[in-house]
């Protein structure tokens, strides 16, 4: 028995679980039951009409064609599919750049599963909800302290809805001042998340884009030319997804204010700034946080989530109702303050995504002010450590601010690799999967050519980061020595290379099993 050889960090032996698991309908066996449902008490059933009260046209004549499967088979099916999903629990999550996938502490999940959280109805009498109301109130206050804002709402259920919340605040503010028709433009940058344009569109705004200057900052001269009496607001992320922090941000917010506009901060990349700088101090009137990114709540395959929106006090009366307040003795919902006709009204039913807020609360309490500061510092340290190591590679480069630090994440370019080997970023992405790694390119369109966007956050250890870097190096070397290998990657993931050519063709796409059966059998 020799000592195990751990000299190479790269997991060449990795293979993701591959079950070739059929689609659930294919498991159906007539007669099988997944669960027995309780019947009404016999005395009740005999004394009422039940479904017979339905008029004929509302009586369901054919049962829905759901599959019939016994319970252990249902469980096995989904347990296998879980194995075929590379959750953050099982991999080194550096490759989902801009998503800030960090460790979601299990204790927080367990707390959110307690019946005093899960079995709460949102319309219960306030006296029965004091616990969750206190948690939401306090989290609100913490977010204010972290951002410098005066009040938050937890109604927006995701980042994009958070941006919609901010766009709605801008709209409400100007409508109240009678300037809504005049103030119909929002300025943003091309690197902003597509939602930074899409959401304000929903509120009727026109979007003016700024191109970056050679350093990667929004071009100030272009900005000056863009700002005028129609400007309602400036929406921007800082740092941008490239990792470049605009050190001239104060100049921008100042000019907007001079022209009577508002400044809205997309804080999707806030993880690298906690305790270091605050939105309000940079001149922003409102901001939003992704609780499922910066504040550790689990991503859930894409939600549930929360895009907490905060604002300065002069905007409080436009926030979605009700606001959560404390009168010294108890917590209560205030329907008055934000009741003016120009306020947003509501973005979501009920009072926000409570379990997500609870998990964020617990996370903040586990870290305290020093911990949050450490989160930002370590995240940026991890990012710049990775940045230095990757930039030493011949085939990797990163546009903008040469030699300067990047905050939270970085968008690299593999253009040299592509030109020299014909292997591009999409190929690298598929090959990285053979080692159990996620890897992300960029939003479309790819402004940075052959983009690679990586974000370690504070979660990985130095060893984890080194493993990711070593794996990238291994794959880059392969591109030079064996580019053919990439043609059919991945080889050790759950399936082989996709052929998505038909996914834009109405004759060929099938969004449901019944469509597939209709078209292909």
Partner 1 sequence: MGVEGFKSHPYIPNSVPEVEQEMLREIGLQSIEELHEEVPNEIILKKEMNLPEAFGSEYELRRHVEGLLKKNSSCADNLNFLGAGCYQHYVPAICDEINGKGEFLTAYGGESYNDFGRFQTLFEFESLMAELVDMEVVNVPTMDYSQAASTAIRMGSRVAKRTGVLVPASMDREKLSVIKNYCMPDLQIQEVALDAKTGCMDLADLKAKLNDSIGVVYFENPIYLGMFELNAQEIADAAHAAGAQCVVGVDPITLGVVSAPRSYGADIVCGDVQPLGIHMNYGGGQSGFMATMDDPKYVLEFPSRLFGICCTKEPGEYAFADVAYDRTSFGHLRDQAKEYVGTQTALWGITAGVYLATMGPKGMQEVGETIMQNAQYAARKLSELENVSLRFDTPFFEEFVLDFNKTGKTVAEINKELLKRHIFGGKDLSHDFADLGQCAMYCVTEVHTKGDIDTLVAALSEIL
Partner 2 sequence: MGCHLALLSEEIPVKTLGLLVNPIAGMGGSVGLKGTDGVLEEAVKRGAKRQSGLRARAALERLLPMKEDLQILCASGAMGQDIAEELGWKVRIVYQAGPYTSSLDTIAAAKAMREADLLLFAGGDGTARDIVAAEVTGPVIGIPAGVKIHSPVYAIRPEAAGELALRYLSGGCGRLREAEVVDIDEAAYRTGHVNTSLYGYLRVPDDRDFLQHGKSPTPVSEHGQQLGIADEMIDRMKSDVYYLIGPGSTTRTLMDELGLPNTLIGVDLICDKKLIQSDLREEDILRHIAERETHLVITPTGGQGYLLGRGNQQLSGAVMKKIGKERMHILATKEKLFHLEGRPLLVDTGDEETDRMLSGYVRAIVGYREEQMVRISSQ
Region 478-507 residues binding partner 2, contact defined as CB under 8 A: 499-502, 504-505, 507
Among 87, 304, 345, 449, binds partner 2 (CB under 8 A): 449
445 binds, among partner 2, partner 1, none (CB under 5 to 8 A by kind): partner 2
Rg (Cα) of the chain, in Å, rounded? 26
DSSP 212: B
Q: Angle of helix 462-481 relative to helix 354-391, nearest 10 degrees?
A: 50
Residue 79 engages partner 1 in binding (rule: CB under 8 A): yes
| Peptide linkage before 187 cis (omega within 30 of 0) | no
Q: Which is nearer to partner 1, 261 or 298 (CB)?
A: 298
Three-state SS for 382?
helix
Q: Phi and psi dihedrals of 368, rounded to 5?
A: 65, 180
Residue 4 engages partner 1 in binding (rule: CB under 8 A): no
Q: What is the largest CA-CA distance in the chain?
A: 81
Q: Which is nearer to partner 1, 4 or 301 (CB)?
A: 301
Interface segment toward partner 1; rule CB under 8 A; list 71-79, 229-237, 409-417, 474-482: 71-79
Distance separating alpha carbons of residues 461 and 352, to the nearest angstrom: 34
331-334 and 151-153 strand pairing: unpaired
Residues within window 215-234 making contact with partner 2, judged by CB under 8 A = 219, 221-223, 225-226
Residues within window 165-194 making contact with partner 1, judged by CB under 8 A = 168, 194
Q: Which is nearer to partner 1, 405 or 416 (CB)?
A: 405
Residue 368 engages partner 2 in binding (rule: CB under 8 A): no
- Give the closest residue to 98 by CA, choosing from 390, 482, 407: 407
Residue 461 engages partner 1 in binding (rule: CB under 8 A): yes
Residues within window 475-494 making contact with partner 1, judged by CB under 8 A = 488, 490, 493-494
DSSP 250: H
C-alpha separations of 206 from 175, 344, 487 in Å: 16, 19, 43
Distance separating alpha carbons of residues 323 and 141, to the nearest angstrom: 13
CB contact at 8 A, 346 and 321: yes
Q: How many CB atoms lie within 10 A of CB 94?
A: 28
CB contact at 8 A, 47 and 97: no
CB contact at 8 A, 163 and 309: no
Q: Which is nearer to partner 2, 27 or 222 (CB)?
A: 222
Residues within window 413-442 making contact with partner 1, judged by CB under 8 A = 429-430, 433, 436, 438, 440
Give the nearest distance from C-beta 238 to partner 2 in angstroms. 18
CB contact at 8 A, 94 and 456: yes
Give the nearest distance from C-beta 52 to partner 2 in angstroms. 45
| Peptide linkage before 277 cis (omega within 30 of 0) | no
Give the nearest distance from C-beta 449 to partner 2 in angstroms. 5
Interface segment toward partner 1; rule CB under 8 A; list 2-10, 468-476, 478-486, 510-518: 510-518
15 binds, among partner 1, partner 2, none (CB under 5 to 8 A by kind): none
226 binds, among partner 1, partner 2, none (CB under 5 to 8 A by kind): partner 2
Q: Which is nearer to partner 1, 79 or 190 (CB)?
A: 79
424 binds, among partner 2, partner 1, none (CB under 5 to 8 A by kind): partner 2
| Peptide linkage before 2 cis (omega within 30 of 0) | no
Residue 211 engages partner 2 in binding (rule: CB under 8 A): yes
Q: Which helix (H) or strand (E) holds 479?
A: helix 462-481
Interface segment toward partner 2; rule CB under 8 A; list 26-34, 214-222, 275-283, 328-336: 214-222
446 binds, among partner 1, partner 2, none (CB under 5 to 8 A by kind): partner 2
Residues that bind partner 2 (CB under 8 A): 190, 197, 201, 205-214, 219, 221-223, 225-226, 418, 422, 424, 426, 444-447, 449-450, 499-502, 504-505, 507-508, 519-520
């Amino acid at each position: 028995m020799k000592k195990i050889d751990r000299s190479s960090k790269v997991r060449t032996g990795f293979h993701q679980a591959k079950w070739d698991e059929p689609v659930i309908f294919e498991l159906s066996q007539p007669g099988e039951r997944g669960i027995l449902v309780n019947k009404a008490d016999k005395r009740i059933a005999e004394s009422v009409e039940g479904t017979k009260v339905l008029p004929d046209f509302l009586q369901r004549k054919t049962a829905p064609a759901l599959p019939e499967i016994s319970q252990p088979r249902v469980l096995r099916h989904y347990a296998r599919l879980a194995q075929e999903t590379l959750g953050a629990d099982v991999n080194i999550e550096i490759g989902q750049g801009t998503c800030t996938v960090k460790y979601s502490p299990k204790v927080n999940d367990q707390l959110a599963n307690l019946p005093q959280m899960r079995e709460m109805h949102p319309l219960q009498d306030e006296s029965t909800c004091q616990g969750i109301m206190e948690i939401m109130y306090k989290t609100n206050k913490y977010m204010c302290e972290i951002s410098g804002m005066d009040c938050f709402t937890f109604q927006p259920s995701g980042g994009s809805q958070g941006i919609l919340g901010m766009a709605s605040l801008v709209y409400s503010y100007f409508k109240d001042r009678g300037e809504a028709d005049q103030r119909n433009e929002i300025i943003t940058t091309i690197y902003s998340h597509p939602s930074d344009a899409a959401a304000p569109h929903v509120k009727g705004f026109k979007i003016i884009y700024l191109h970056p200057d050679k350093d990667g900052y929004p071009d100030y001269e272009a900005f000056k030319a863009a700002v005028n009496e129609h400007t309602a607001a400036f929406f921007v992320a800082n740092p941008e997804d490239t990792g470049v922090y605009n050190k001239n941000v104060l100049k921008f917010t100042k000019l907007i204010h001079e022209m009577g506009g508002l400044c809205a901060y997309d804080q999707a990349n806030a993880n690298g700034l906690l305790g270091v700088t605050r939105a309000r101090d940079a001149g922003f009137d409102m901001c939003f946080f992704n609780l499922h990114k910066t504040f550790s709540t689990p991503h859930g395959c894409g939600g549930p989530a929360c895009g907490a929106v905060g604002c300065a006090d002069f905007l409080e009366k436009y926030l979605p109702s009700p606001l959560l307040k404390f009168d010294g003795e108890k917590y209560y919902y205030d329907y008055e303050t934000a009741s003016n006709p120009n306020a947003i009204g509501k973005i979501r039913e009920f009072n926000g995504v409570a379990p997500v807020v609870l998990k964020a609360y617990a996370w903040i309490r586990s870290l305290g002010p020093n911990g949050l500061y450490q989160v930002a510092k370590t995240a940026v340290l991890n990012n710049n450590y990775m940045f230095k190591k990757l930039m030493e590679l011949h085939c990797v480069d990163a546009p903008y601010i040469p030699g300067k630090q990047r905050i939270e994440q970085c968008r690299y370019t593999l253009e040299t690799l592509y030109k020299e080997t014909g292997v591009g970023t999409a190929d690298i992405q598929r090959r990285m999967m053979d080692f159990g790694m996620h890897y992300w390119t960029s939003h479309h369109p790819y402004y940075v050519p052959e983009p690679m966007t990586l974000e370690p956050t504070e979660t990985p250890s130095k060893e984890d980061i080194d493993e990711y870097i070593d794996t990238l190096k291994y794959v880059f070397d392969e591109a030079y020595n064996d580019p053919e290998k990439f043609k059919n990657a991945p080889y050790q993931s759950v399936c082989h290379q996709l052929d998505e050519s038909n996914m834009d063709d109405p004759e060929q796409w099938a969004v449901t099993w019944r469509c597939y059966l209709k078209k292909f059998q």
